[in-house]
Amino acid sequence: MQYNPGWNSSSVNLLHVRAQGPNDTLHYVWSSIGGPAVLLVATQSPSSSLGINWTRLLSPSPAGAIWIDPPGSVVHSSAVVFTKVFESSEAKPSEELFYPPYVLSEFSWASLGPTLNHTALTAELSGVPATDPGGAFANGSLAFRVTAYESRGRSGRLPSLLHTADSSQLEFVLAGVTPRGNSSRFVLEVATVEEPGVTRSLSSARSIDDEYTPTIFEMLALVAESQNGSSSLSFVQWKATAYGSRSPRREDGIQCQAQGLRAANWSLPAATIVQAYFGQGLGGAYSVSAINVSFGGEEGRVYQEKRYLSWSVLLGFGQPPRDTFSPLVISIMAVALGTPLAMLLVGICLVLVAQRKRYSEYEPIN
C-alpha cells in the first residue's frame, strides 16, 4: 500500500494498492481528490507500475495525470465513483420529503495517513461537507473504510463477505450525522465507468444458506463483462443488508435495496482521478452508469435511534466469489433429509416383519 506516492504532502488523499502475481499485476487506486472514487486496473505484466503527474492531477484539467507503465500491459480498467448521498423522510402518509443531497465532491476530507495500517492493510477516508449550515455533521462524519486482502477468506464482521486474494472490501459508514427528518432514509448514488466494448449489469442471486449472514439470503453484484458475454472482468458485490451498529449483530440489520442500474445522464465531478486516468472520453467512448442503493425502508427509525449506518461491498477482478454450502449446513440438510428416509425404511422393515410373523402362525395343511 502506497500513500500519495511521489508527493510529500498529506493535504490530498491517494492510496495505491498493488497486488503482484507471477504473470500479472492488479492495481487499486483510491482517492478523495474531486470526490471519493477507485480505479481498478489489471495488467498482464508482473512489473507494471503506477505513474502520477501530481502537478497536472491537482490542476483543473487532470486528464492524463494518471497512467500505468507499460501502457500496453493493461487488459482491463474501470472505475467506481461515489457521488451523492440523498436523504428523505415521510412527511405525511404516502408522501415523502426530500432534502438537498450531500454532494461528496464538495466534502472536505481528512488525511488518511493516520488511519493507514500496513499490517492490517486498512485505511479510511473520512469527510464532512465543506459548508454545513444546518449543522448535521457537527458531531458526525461520512467515511469509506478500505481493506485489502492477501489471501482467500471471510471478513470476521457481519455481513462476513467472502473475499479472494485479489479483492478489496469497502465499508461505507455514516456515523453521528443528525438526520434532517423523522425516520430519515438514506440513499447512496454509485457510478461506474467502463471501457469501450464492456457492459456493466446488475445481478441477484439467492441462497438458502444464511450461516454467515443470518436472515440474509440475497447477494447482489455489478459485474463488468465483455459485450459478447464471454468473460467477467471486474465486479462490485454486496449482500442485501446494512447495519446500524459499530459491532453489528443480526438484530442491527437495516434493509438495503438496489434501485436499478441506469445510464448516467449527468457528468461526473470534475478533476477526479477518473478523469485523470480516462481523460476526456467520459460519457463518450467510455460509458458511465449509475445505481442508487437505499438504506432504511420500514426500518428507517434504526438510524434515527443509533445514528450509525454501515454498508460493506467487495470489489475485485474476474468472477465474484460464490458462497458454497458449508459443512455445517450440509450436515443439517443431511440430518433433515436423512431422518425421514431412515424412519421410512425402519417402518417398512417393521411392516414386513409383522406380516411375516402373522403368516407364520398358520400351520401347513398336510
State how far the alpha carbon of 330 is from the alpha carbons of 5, 146, 162, 220, 236, in Å: 48, 33, 18, 24, 28
- Looking at the DSSP bridge assignments, the partners of residue 158 are none
Give me the mean pLDDT over the 12-21 stretch: 95
Burial of 347 (0-12, 13-18, 19+ CB in 10 A): exposed
SS3 assignment, position 186: strand
Average of per-residue pLDDT values in the chain: 88
* DSSP strand pairing (107-109 vs 232-239): unpaired
pLDDT of residue 166: 85
CB atoms within 10 A of CB 257: 15
Give me the mean pLDDT over the 7-16 stretch: 95
Confidence of residue 334 (pLDDT cuts 50, 70, 90): very low
Dihedral sign, Cα of residue 56, residue 58, residue 59, residue 64: positive
> Which of 110, 111, 147, 113 lies closest to 128 in space, CA to CA?
110
- Record the cell numbers describing residue 48, joined without a space: 507494471
- Kindly state the helix (H) or strand (E) to which residue 354 belongs, with its residue range: helix 327-360
pLDDT of residue 357: 64
pLDDT of residue 299: 47
pLDDT of residue 329: 45
Name residues whose C-beta falls within 8 Å of residue 168's C-beta, 6 or more positions apart in sequence: 17, 28, 146, 147, 148, 149, 314, 315, 316
pLDDT of residue 283: 66
234-288 residue pLDDT tens: 999 999 999 999 999 988 889 899 988 999 877 888 789 999 999 977 767 899 9
Flag whether pLDDT at 345 surpasses 90.
no
Confidence of residue 92 (pLDDT cuts 50, 70, 90): low
Flag whether pLDDT at 76 surpasses 60.
yes
99-119 residue pLDDT tens: 999 999 999 999 999 999 999
Confidence of residue 126 (pLDDT cuts 50, 70, 90): very high
Question: Contact at 8 Å (CB) between 185 and 296?
Answer: yes
**String of DSSP letters for 105-147:** GGEEE--SGGG-BTTTTEEEEEEEES--TT-TTTT-EEEEEEE
E strand spans, 22-166: 25-31, 37-43, 49-52, 66-69, 74-92, 95-98, 102-103, 107-109, 122-129, 141-148, 153-154, 162-163
- Kindly state the helix (H) or strand (E) to which residue 313 belongs, with its residue range: strand 308-317
Q: What are the residue ranges spanned by the domains of the chain?
A: 2-324
User: Any idea which of 151-155, 174-178, 195-199, 227-231 has the lowest mean pLDDT?
Assistant: 227-231
Question: Contact at 8 Å (CB) between 24 and 46?
Answer: yes
78-90 residue pLDDT tens: 999 999 999 998 7
| HSE (side-chain half, CA atoms, 13 Å) at 123 | 24
> Which of 346, 306, 339, 317 lies closest to 80 in space, CA to CA?
317
pLDDT of residue 63: 93
- Record the cell numbers describing residue 40, joined without a space: 481498478
